[in-house]
Amino acid sequence: MVGCQPFRAGRPEIVYSAPSRKGRGAHPMSGGRVLSPVLLVGAGTGEATCGILYLASYLRRGGIEAFVRLYDGDETDDEVARSFESLVTRVRPKLVGISLKWFHHVDRALLIARTLREIDPTIRIVMGGNSASYWWRELHAYDCIDDIVLGDGEVPLLALCRGDPSPPNRVTRAPDGRPRRLPLAYVQGATNSEDIYYSHFHELFLSQMDLHSFSGWVAPGKGCGENCLYCGGARGNQKAGFGRAKPFLRAEESVRRDHQEIAGRTWQLRYDFSGSSAEFLGSTWAGVDLSRHCCTYFLWGVPRIELVDALAGTFQRVYMVVDIGCFSEQQRLEQMRRGLLKPCARDSELLALIEACRRHPNLDVEISGIGGLPFASQATLAEELRLVERVISLDCVVGYQRLEAQPGALVTEHPARFDMVTEARTFTEFLDYFERREPGDVSVPMIRFRDAELEAAVQRNSDRVDALAWQHRDAKRSIAVDGRTRLRNTAPWTQQFTLGDWLGSHRAPAKVAKEQVTVVRSVDGITLSCAPSLSPRRFSDPTLTQGEDGAILLAALAAFERPTTVASGVKELGTKAKLDPGSAREVIDHLVDGRFLQPA
């Protein structure tokens, strides 16, 4: 295998040796050559972080032809290789940027880098993001990575693409071959981020499927001012990796441009922590009609009621996630007293918020917390369970997970301080953990109590909370359906594309590129893509429902264009799609579960 070999020499810490360039051929490491086109991808499966969209927009405005691959559904190494072979053939990139924001994607980031090195040794491979900035020493020892961008990437990446001799915020090579971390000369703040905003969405994406995978993320601000003991992105690491001493809000005009660019291209908007005031967001929504959009907002602490009212009054539906640290008030207050947790609500404040939210029928609330945090006891476990039960009784969703290890987090770096043990702390331990996972496994290293009796009690409580939470979630989604139930096709969006437009010319062979694909989206954003004229024998893709199966699904949706009983729908599918009653009912139930069909 060409490239991507780490350099180690007799000790666990990295040895800074000059990386091998075996098999590389000519490579434009410097010399002023413009590197365009550019391809930006995420390191994990599913939707990549919105950061690559801000980067690509900025590069486009800077004269660089930039493209994104936003969604990645590949699972095996062979699938990754095939995807990038077709992407490289289509884009012919001179530079590929890999976004390593989340630490649990580190193994896949290295897989992508070495795959690209094998496909075309002349491509300049750049890695960036929170985890890349944190692990820059270890990652730069791999010879399939040419550059690591530290912190905010817009200015450094544009400088690299333009061939500037000294791009800022970059890990480069000293004359002796050792990695050299240059000072953070570019740090985004409130006064220099006006030129960071979404643009060129009609040019960035390589397929309609990729564009419609965008879930509407907008970043009203950046950074975090807190030092929660479990978080790898807390204030201290923000300062070390990004040079950002405190969080900031972006200019209102820049956030307004985000909304103007994406409102017509997405069914929802999503926000995370920053900018949680009605005044700020109201200004950035000005001139954009969001009355038919959904909104998901992730918050910590108790938001002001004015924000709740503004969200409910602006969007068709709102899903608000409130992070309270943990479900035990006693444990929560103790961590806050020690400076180990951001300001979080008392139970009384939380319950008052839930009561206020109940005034809005279009707003749902999820209360989120972590189980197994330090200072747990039998008393805190009982308190935790009581609050979970109370929240569920108010018909709020509970989001819950056990404490996980995160690189750089205080409890991960120093678990013994809290009488705990971690399943991973070093780069090598995290990488080994993720490399051992089977495809589809999304587990992460955990942190547990050293005291076996306490750990067992925490796990029993966790299992009980999980069971309650999922039982409630399932109950909220379930719809009792019998033959007399009147259903209607409530899919708010149906469009037709050619296969070449939907999958992209890099995935759809020319011989089937003109075949029609009907794409339907449910009220929850689930997408159903049907190609009834395309036999799987001619071409097959896991994202498509093809041939007879595709025709049956479209026929079922058509049967319920107007309110229709299930019994009538079963009969119509028997006549038009030649389905027996049992099979017809299975199809209808499938569409109800996906919320394409709902009670009239």
- Residue 36: phi, psi to the nearest 5? -155, 140
> What pLDDT does residue 5 have?
62
The identity of residue 238, as a single letter, is: Q
Q: How far is Cα 534 from Cα 548, in angstroms, rounded to an integer?
A: 9
User: What is each CA distance from 271 to 87, 190, 207, 257, 319, in whole angstroms?
Assistant: 30, 18, 25, 15, 11
Q: Pick from 386, 370, 266: which is nearest to 325 by CA? A: 370
For residue 390, which phi and psi values (nearest 5 degrees)?
A: -65, -45
Distance CA 538, CA 340 (A): 58
Within 13 Å of residue 365, how many CA atoms lie on the same side as its CB? 28
Beta bridge partners of 519: 495, 529
Cis-peptide, bond into residue 37, ω within 30° of zero: yes
Do residues 106 and 98 make contact, with C-beta atoms less than 8 angstroms apart? no
Q: Are the C-beta atoms of 462 and 371 separated by less than 8 Å?
A: yes
Residue 158: predicted pLDDT: 98
| pLDDT for res 511 | 95
CA atoms of 507 and 495, how far apart (whole Å): 20
Contacts of 325 (CB under 8 A, 6+ apart): 228, 300, 332, 335, 336, 341, 342, 344, 369, 370, 373
Mean pLDDT by 10 residues, the chain (600 residues): 47 30 38 90 95 98 98 94 97 98 97 98 97 95 94 96 94 78 88 94 97 95 92 91 90 96 96 83 95 94 92 97 96 96 94 95 97 97 98 96 97 98 98 93 96 98 97 90 96 96 96 97 95 94 95 97 97 96 96 95
Distance of alpha carbon 285 from alpha carbon 282, whole angstroms: 5
**For residues 371 and 373, what is the distance between their CA atoms, to the nearest angstrom?**
6
Residue 17 has what pLDDT? 29
Measured CA to CA, the distance from residue 463 to residue 401 in angstroms comes to 10
Full 3-state SS string of 467-535 = HHHHHHHHHHHCCCCCCCCEEEECCCEEEEEEHHHHHCCCCCCHHHCCCEEEEEECCCCCEEEEECCCC
- What is the structure's pLDDT at 175? 75
Sequential DSSP letters for 358-423: TT-TTEEEEEEEEES-TT--HHHHHHHHHHHHHHHHTT-EEEEEE-B--TT-HHHH-GGGGTEEES
Q: Which two tokens stand for residue 60?
A: 């486009």
Q: Which residues of 14-44 are buried (b: 16+ CB within 10 A; e: fewer)?
A: bebeebeeeebeeebeeeeeebbbbbbbbbb
- Straight-line distance from the first to the last Cα atom of the chain, in angstroms, rounded to the nearest whole number: 58
pTM: 0.93
> Quick check: helix, strand or coil at residue 339?
coil
pLDDT of residue 8: 39
CA separation for the pair 220, 256 (Å, rounded): 9
The residue whose two tokens read 């590389």 is 24
Is 282 strand, coil or helix?
A: helix
**pLDDT at residue 182 in the model:** 79
- Let me know how long the chain is: 600
- Rounded to whole angstroms, the Cα distance separating 324 from 302 reads 9
- Alpha carbons 386 and 378: distance in angstroms, whole number: 13
Structure tokens at 356: 């206020």
